[in-house]
Amino acid sequence: MTEETFEVEISELELKYSANDIKMSDFVTFAKSLNPIKELEVASWDYYYSGEGLPFEFIRFRNGTDPEITIKIKTTDKNNNNRIEIELPLNSKVSEWRVAKFVGLFGFKENFRIYKHCMIFWYDKLDIVYYTVFNQNMEEIGRYCEVERDKSVKGGTREEAWTLIKEMEQKMSVLGIVPQNRMRRSLWELFRKDIKKGVASDGV
């Protein structure tokens, strides 16, 4: 594997939009009309850990049927459309307590947790997602859509991936999705708490 190929394979290429004005049923109808290769409904808790003076902002632990730890690093300050994303699959029996102790050894502590319900549809080399986010009290705090490159598909270039993503974005205009509505902030940036004050940026 060349360095260039490796960099592409650990790149998260995606576009994100607010879906607060999009019904999940409309999204599902649209997704099914494009004959997806596969689809999945899944929900889980996501734990975000952070700390001061560390080499990256946060670690995410997804405590679902296929648990994993994820590190994401921005490649530009302008948006989160192209980030380094490295995922570490974990044993299905791993506990949040053990993960918290592990990342704590490196100086990370829980910043916040959210519960996500996702509808995911896969196509050739990309997938689209509709997800609803809840806080610790299971109060709904946001709905979002994403179009992203399918990282499980090997090969290809960033340029090819972006072409497919933007073509899908154009198709999703029937849902009210347009380039002008692309979100710049990630879930981490939307819901993180100030480390010193312990106050959520958006009231989580």
Structure confidence by residue, pLDDT tens digits, 127-148: 999 999 999 999 999 999 999 9
Output the pLDDT for position 198. 46
Output the pLDDT for position 9. 64
Give SS3 for 175: helix
Give SS3 for 8: helix
Q: Which has the higher per-residue pLDDT, 14 or 196?
A: 14
CA dihedral 170, 77, 86, 122 (to 10 degrees): -10
Q: What is the pLDDT of residues 92-105, one digit of tens each?
A: 999 999 999 999 99
DSSP single-letter state for residue 193: B
Q: What is the pLDDT of residues 64-101, one digit of tens each?
A: 999 999 999 988 887 788 888 999 999 999 999 999 99
Domains in the chain, CATH or no CATH each: 3-191 (2.40.320.10)
As a whole-number percent, the residues of the chain with pLDDT over 70 amount to 91
In the predicted model, is pLDDT for residue 151 greater than 90?
Answer: no
In the predicted model, is pLDDT for residue 7 greater than 70?
Answer: no
Output the pLDDT for position 8. 54
In the predicted model, is pLDDT for residue 199 greater than 60?
Answer: no
Output the pLDDT for position 152. 83
Among residues 140, 137, 158, the alpha carbon closest in space to that of 149 is found at 158
> What is the per-residue burial (b if ≥16 Cβ within 10 Å, else e) of 104-142?
eeeebebbbbbbbbbbbbbbebbbbbbbbbbbeeeeebb
